[in-house]
Amino acid sequence: MQSETATDTVLDVRDLRTYFKLDEHVVKAVDGVSFSIRRGETLGIVGESGSGKSVACLSALGLVPRPPAFHPSGQVLYRGRNLLGLPERQLQNLRGNRLAMIFQDPMTSLNPYLRVSRQLTEVLEVHKSATATEARRAAIAMLERVGIPDAARRIDNYPHQFSGGMRQRVMIAMALLCEPEVLFADEPTTALDVTIQAQILELIAELKHTFGTAVVLITHDLGVVAGTTDRVAVMYAGRIVEEGPTSEVFASPTHPYTLGLLESLPRIDAGPEGELAAIPGLPPDLAHLPSGCPFHPRCSRVLDRCRESYPPQVVLSPTHSAACFDIEVAS
């Protein structure tokens, strides 16, 4: 375990709230999320669709459209600077340079009309004021690094001449060209075949190791989390319900939602007659959240208090916490 010093923490998100003001009501997509991440660490953020995982990361980079979005509270501190209040121009200087992001669908996240070379060198030209020759050389080196064979020739291809896995490699190369300190990976493997998934995750882990990048890995695949992350945060309805070291959360999940998620994983040793567990009910409508703990209508351990107020974070160990009244009672 690394020693926790102030300089080690690259990104510190505190009580981030991202609300979307629609015609009639306010959608609380992210509702008080806090996490921090250190150099070289991988934080997994898991949750169902609509739990606010992607919006939290897009908010950190200032990529949610405002309006309709607004931040009633919160700070995203990158090396002590609050990104939420930063002018757009300064954010542009940080994006792709110190903080980068890769997206879910590599088939649509490259511009179909531009050669890959153009898209790669643009990043370097913007952030590093590199000349065309330097940028091209660096781009080829990075393509080789992410495992594109014959990179010097392939760099002049168009995106449609690459397969899905290759395109995701190109995206990763693009995001890492300026050696950012934080990489947000928004379900980077969801759109890929299982074999390619493993390769891409391995690649991210390897590059993280080389460059010391902090990685925020958003996924809904618990298998991915177990295999690649140091810490995990479980999100539900815009809040983090449980957070801790991955091994600890998987070994002793405490929040009923985390438990439900882990129990609903199909097990290969359960045999064909084993029944697939599922969490009853549906994720809540973010515009009309239930009172109190948003998970209470689906929770098997619901208490009266759960309907009235949101539970506090219960500290289970210095690194592991969960937000649940039932746990508070037990501990």
Partner 1 sequence: MTIHAAPHSVERPTGPDLEPGTSLWQDAWKRLRKNHVAVASGWILLFLAAACLVGPPIVAGTWGYDYETQDLAYGPRPPTWEHPFGTDFYGRDLLTRVLYGGRVSLTVGFLAAAVAATIGTVYGAVSSYAGGNVDSVMMRIVDILYALPYMFLVIILVTILGKNLVLVFLTLGAVGWLLTARVVRGQVMSLKEQDFILAARSLGTRPGSIVFRHLIPNTLGPVIVTFTLTVPAMILQEAFLSFLGLGVQAPRPSLGALINDGASQMLVFWWTLAFPGGVMALMLMALNFLGDGVRDALDPRMKN
Q: CA angle at residue 206 from 153 to 131, to 5 degrees?
A: 45
Instruction: Give 53 or 296: the residue with its C-beta nearer to partner 1.
Output: 53
CB of 121 to partner 1, least distance (A): 12
Which is nearer to partner 1, 155 or 234 (by Cβ)?
Answer: 155
Local structure of residue 149 (DSSP, 8 states): T
Backbone angles phi, psi at 315, to 5 degrees: -85, 120
Decide: 32 and 17 in contact? Cβ < 8 Å. yes
Give the span between the Cα atoms of 312 and 322, in whole angstroms: 8
**Comparison of 145 and 255: residue with beta carbon closer to partner 1:** 145
d(CA 223, CA 82): 33
Task: Give, as one character, the DSSP assignment of residue 328.
Answer: H
User: Measured from the CB atom, is 228 or 258 closer to partner 1?
Assistant: 228
Query: SS3 helix, strand, coil % of the chain, rounded to 5?
Result: 35, 25, 40
β-sheet bridge partners, residue 33: 16
Residue 134, burial from CB neighbour count under 10 angstroms (0-12, 13-18, 19+): middle
Contact footprint for partner 1 (CB under 8 A): 61, 63, 92-97, 100-105, 108-115, 118-119, 122-123, 126-127, 144-151, 153-154, 156-158, 160-163, 165-166, 169, 171, 174-175, 196, 199, 202-203, 206
CB nearer to partner 1: give 162 or 325: 162
Q: Which is nearer to partner 1, 75 or 157 (CB)?
A: 157
Cβ neighbours of residue 327 under 8 Å, at least 6 residues apart?
254, 255, 314, 316
| Cα angle 98, 158, 173; round to 5 | 25
Shortest gap between Cβ of 93 and partner 1 (angstroms)? 7
Closest CB 95 distance from partner 1, rounded Å:
4
User: What is the pairing mode between strands 42-46 and 231-236?
Assistant: parallel
| Between 215 and 237, CB nearer to partner 1 | 215
Residue 271 corresponds to which tokens in the numbers above?
Answer: 């045999």
Residues in Cβ contact with 71 at an 8 Å cutoff, skipping those fewer than 6 apart: 16, 17, 18, 19, 59, 84
C-beta neighbour count of 264 within 10 angstroms? 12
Query: Cβ 140 to partner 1, closest distance in Å?
Result: 10
What's the closest the beta carbon of residue 32 comes to partner 1, in angstroms? 24
CB 52 → partner 1: shortest distance, Å? 17
At its nearest, how many Å lie between partner 1 and the CB of residue 316?
35
Nearer to partner 1, 191 or 314 (CB): 191
Smallest distance, partner 1 to C-beta of residue 169, A: 8
Question: CB of residue 85 vs partner 1: minimum separation in angstroms?
Answer: 18
Query: Contact at 8 Å (CB) between 233 and 243?
Result: yes
Pick between residue 153 and residue 267 the one whose CB is nearest to partner 1.
Answer: 153
Contact 287, 27 (CB under 8 A): yes
